[in-house]
Structure 1
Amino acid sequence: MKTWTLRAESSKVTSAYMLLPPVVSRVPTVARVPYRTVLSLSGSQATEFLNGLVSGAVPASPRPFYSAFLHAQGKVLYDAFFYTRTAPDGQKSYLIDYDSRSADAPPLLQLLKRYILRSRVKVRDASDEFDVWAAWGTPADAEKAPRQWRWAEHSGVAEPVWDNSVSPWGTADLEVRDVRAPGMGRRLLVRKKDTPPESASHDFLPSEFYTLHRMLHGVPEGTGEMFGFPMESNLDIMGAVDFRKGCYVGQELTVRTYHTGVIRKRILPVVIHAADARPDGPAEPRAEIPSFAANSEIRPLVLREGGVRPRGTGKLLNSTHGIGLALLRLEHVQAAEQGNLAFTLDADASPEWGISQWRPEWWPQSDAA
């Protein structure tokens, strides 16, 4: 029986308080994605119906995509993958893959039924038909060229500029190319009790390796990690928000932020370590690091005067084996990158723990930044 480890690699460390982006081993891998629910959405007006609800652009003819449902005040209810399925008569319908664990948001099935009214749409739970899997690590999963970005003038919002000649999320049924970040691979819907065909050629790993995979790429997912405004959850740079489409629920505040607001917080990947042993090398998962409660408070600690007055705190959203995702104030991040500030984890545990963040390699970089 094989014992599996996951190693993050980095070429150079520029500061004791900032790690360069790690790269997950590119061995072909398949793992089940935990905590997912699947809904079926069909009908002649399904595309039009979704376009009035989700934050992203819905293809004119049914194709896979990734987007989010917001509430009227513009905060994230659910992020979701949208797959297609073709019936024997050639009619296409959607399958929606999302995290249904939220205690605060209305169940998505009820939410969709509330908006149907006279639309020619049918929605039902299909979780008893499908499981959600992820596959990554093949040469086909790698992006061939650096991403191009469209920047808002003042707010710090950035959008990927896709090649309009191809669908970035793919075209196959029951599959989505996961282009939230380079190297994320593919998302698959597989019939219950079956395994993906990739199982024959890929390493078959537990779900926690998928969680590590996406956190090392700086990709938040699900209701436990996304609950603020979409740009704070990086949904803009992951291609889930269209700032030029027509009306949808939560559009007003989202577009206003794009044009006149400022993004003050974002979710970043972090490494957890002993407070007196800040890393001077690559971020690497470590099994001996304990798990911490979701939304554990992260406090900024001034190391030397650098013009920053620490206001507020951050939140550790999720972690495993010492790698996590945290919602941090960008002014604190900048001060930490300059060596003026460090982060400590306010947890009911001993010893005291420190947090070091990094900016994922694939993130947009502008001259202004």
Structure 2
Amino acid sequence: MIPPMARALVRNTPTLAPIPHRGIISVTGPHALDFLNGIVSSTIPSDSNRHFFSAFLHAQGRVLYDVFVYANPSPDGRRGHLIEFDSRSSEAPPLLSMLKRYVLRSKVKISDVSDQYDVWAAWGSDIEKSWENERHWTVARSGAAEPVWDADANWPWGTDSLKIRDRRGVGLGYRLLVRRGDRPQESSTHDTQSSEAYTLHRFLHGVPEGVTDIVPTQAFPMDSNLDIMGGLDFRKGCYVGQELTVRTYHTGVVRKRIFPVVVHHPDHGIDDVKASSHHSFPAGLDIRPNVIHAPGDNTGTRARPRGTGKLLTTLQGVGLALLRLEHVDAFEHGELKLTFESEDADASKTLWGVTPWRPSWWPRLINEDEDH
């Protein structure tokens, strides 16, 4: 559940916000379906009007891009897709050139149409209640988890033109592609906020996105919750990065997850989050587990837990962090504190505490209470 302090940041009224740093690539042609199906991590729906969420992996199974794919058939009904991705520079190869390398003899046309669209997010309206229902899951022994969509319901990601239901988490709303410079139709019924409002909304729902949260060439799909968010299909045919992903699902162990977190004074708890809300923390800071000794325990014999976590992105005292599941479990049992150090403007070091929480809609992970 969202901690009380963070709950005060939730916007429950209809809200609209632009999403910056997003690129759009168009993929059309007779072979567009088979072409994309061979390189994305989820199955391409056979219906040409269905949108979906997915990812591009490299051959060793690490994430290059997390993407939304909008069905965009031509007026004569021919297959077409618009791929929305984080366009900021990263260690990943530029998506346009990467896709063109995969074309070979496929009859597809690939072009960058980023200058034609703006990306917006909308949430908090009654319309979302029509598709939000209790989540059901398939959970593997490895700890990987997949949402099981209701077969009797409509397609979970929607079919409305240039509008995709954001089913990565419960309560996220939907995303819109709008012609560059135009205002979304929702601007007449929603309160328009800045892009930071969307980022905060996403953090509070525990959903990572883009190159800062899902670090290209470093992040593993399940560590980054792409399975929970509906971006992985462990049963489809061959695609780039499939071998390691499926092997981990069947025989491996998911040891880390991205969690929403509150940053606060290490001794005052999350009620003192105001101290951190005005600070900007760089991504990638190590989050260290610290053993809490019971009163009167002067032996100091308990070994420090292995490994560290990583702070990803923060805003107004909340954010996302990549944490070991064993550390989160020990934290929840009162056995550990999680802290990191940041450097102030005068080069002095300040210690901060981190409190993670599990979104209420998450599945119960098989290995979350086990030793890893």
Q: How do residues 245-324 of structure 1 correspond to structure 2 at under 5 angstroms?
A: 245-279=236-270, 288-304=277-293, 309-324=304-319
Q: Is 1:308–1:335's contact at 8 Å kept on the other side of the alignment? A: no
Q: Which whole-Å CA distance do the structure 1 matches of 2:231 and 2:237 have between them?
A: 15
Amino acid at match of 1:298: I
Q: Which whole-Å CA distance do the structure 1 matches of 2:251 and 2:164 have between them?
A: 33
Aligned-residue Cα RMSD (Å) equals: 2.2
Q: Which whole-Å CA distance do the structure 1 matches of 2:263 and 2:51 have between them?
A: 36
Amino acid at match of 1:329: R
Q: Which residue does the alignment assign to 1:61?
A: 47
> 1:86 aligned to 56, 67, 73, which one?
73
Q: Is 2:203–2:319's contact at 8 Å kept on the other side of the alignment? A: yes
What number of residue pairs does the alignment pair up? 352
Q: Which residue does the alignment assign to 2:30?
A: 44
Amino acid at match of 2:286: E
Q: Is 1:308–1:332's contact at 8 Å kept on the other side of the alignment? A: no
Task: Name the CA shift for 1:116/1:272 in 2 (closer, same or farther; >3 Å).
Answer: same
Q: Is 2:27–2:108's contact at 8 Å kept on the other side of the alignment? A: yes
CA-to-aligned-CA distance 1:117-162 (integer Å, 9 cap, x gap): 111111000011001100000122235431000011x200110001
Matched, 1:129 2:116: yes
Q: Is 1:86–1:92's contact at 8 Å kept on the other side of the alignment? A: yes
> 2:135 aligned to 143, 147, 160, which one?
147
Q: How do residues 1-369 of structure 1 correspond to structure 2 at under 5 angstroms?
A: 24-62=10-48, 63-142=50-129, 143-152=131-140, 154-165=141-152, 166-227=154-215, 228-279=219-270, 288-304=277-293, 309-349=304-344, 351-365=350-364, 369=368
* Overall identity of the aligned pairs, in %: 55
How far did residue 308 of structure 1 move?
7.0
Q: Which whole-Å CA distance do the structure 2 matches of 1:199 and 1:137 have between them?
A: 13
Task: Name the CA shift for 1:337/1:44 in 2 (closer, same or farther; >3 Å).
Answer: same
Task: Name the CA shift for 1:308/1:246 in 2 (closer, same or farther; >3 Å).
Answer: farther
Q: Which whole-Å CA distance do the structure 1 matches of 2:2 and 2:56 have between them?
A: 35
Q: Is 1:141–1:185's contact at 8 Å kept on the other side of the alignment? A: yes
Amino acid at match of 1:270: V
Larger mean CA deviation between 134-143 and 119-128 belongs to 134-143
How far did residue 280 of structure 1 move?
5.3
Amino acid at match of 2:306: R
CA-to-aligned-CA distance 1:176-226 (integer Å, 9 cap, x gap): 100000111011000001111000000000000000000100000001111
Unaligned segments of structure 2, at least 5 residues: 295-300
Larger mean CA deviation between 218-227 and 300-309 belongs to 300-309
Q: Is 1:21–1:358's contact at 8 Å kept on the other side of the alignment? A: no
For residue 213 of structure 1, give the secondary structure of its aligned residue in structure 2.
helix
Amino acid at match of 1:107: P
Larger mean CA deviation between 298-307 and 326-335 belongs to 298-307
Amino acid at match of 1:198: E
Q: Which whole-Å CA distance do the structure 2 matches of 1:160 and 1:171 have between them?
A: 19
How far did residue 326 of structure 1 move?
0.2
Q: Which whole-Å CA distance do the structure 1 matches of 2:20 and 2:275 have between them?
A: 21
TM-score by length of 2: 0.89
How far did residue 351 of structure 1 move?
3.7
Q: Which whole-Å CA distance do the structure 1 matches of 2:275 and 2:339 have between them?
A: 18
For residue 344 of structure 1, give the secondary structure of its aligned residue in structure 2.
strand
Q: Is 2:264–2:274's contact at 8 Å kept on the other side of the alignment? A: no
Amino acid at match of 1:353: W
TM-score by length of 1: 0.90
Unaligned segments of structure 1, at least 5 residues: 1-7, 12-18
Amino acid at match of 1:34: P
Q: Which whole-Å CA distance do the structure 2 matches of 1:132 and 1:77 have between them?
A: 20
Q: Is 2:57–2:241's contact at 8 Å kept on the other side of the alignment? A: yes
For residue 81 of structure 1, give the secondary structure of its aligned residue in structure 2.
strand
Task: Name the CA shift for 1:71/1:85 in 2 (closer, same or farther; >3 Å).
Answer: same
Q: Is 2:343–2:350's contact at 8 Å kept on the other side of the alignment? A: no
How far did residue 313 of structure 1 move?
1.0
Q: Which residue does the alignment assign to 2:297?
A: none
Amino acid at match of 1:39: I
How far did residue 22 of structure 1 move?
7.9
Q: Which whole-Å CA distance do the structure 1 matches of 2:320 and 2:277 have between them?
A: 18
Q: Which residue does the alignment assign to 1:4?
A: none
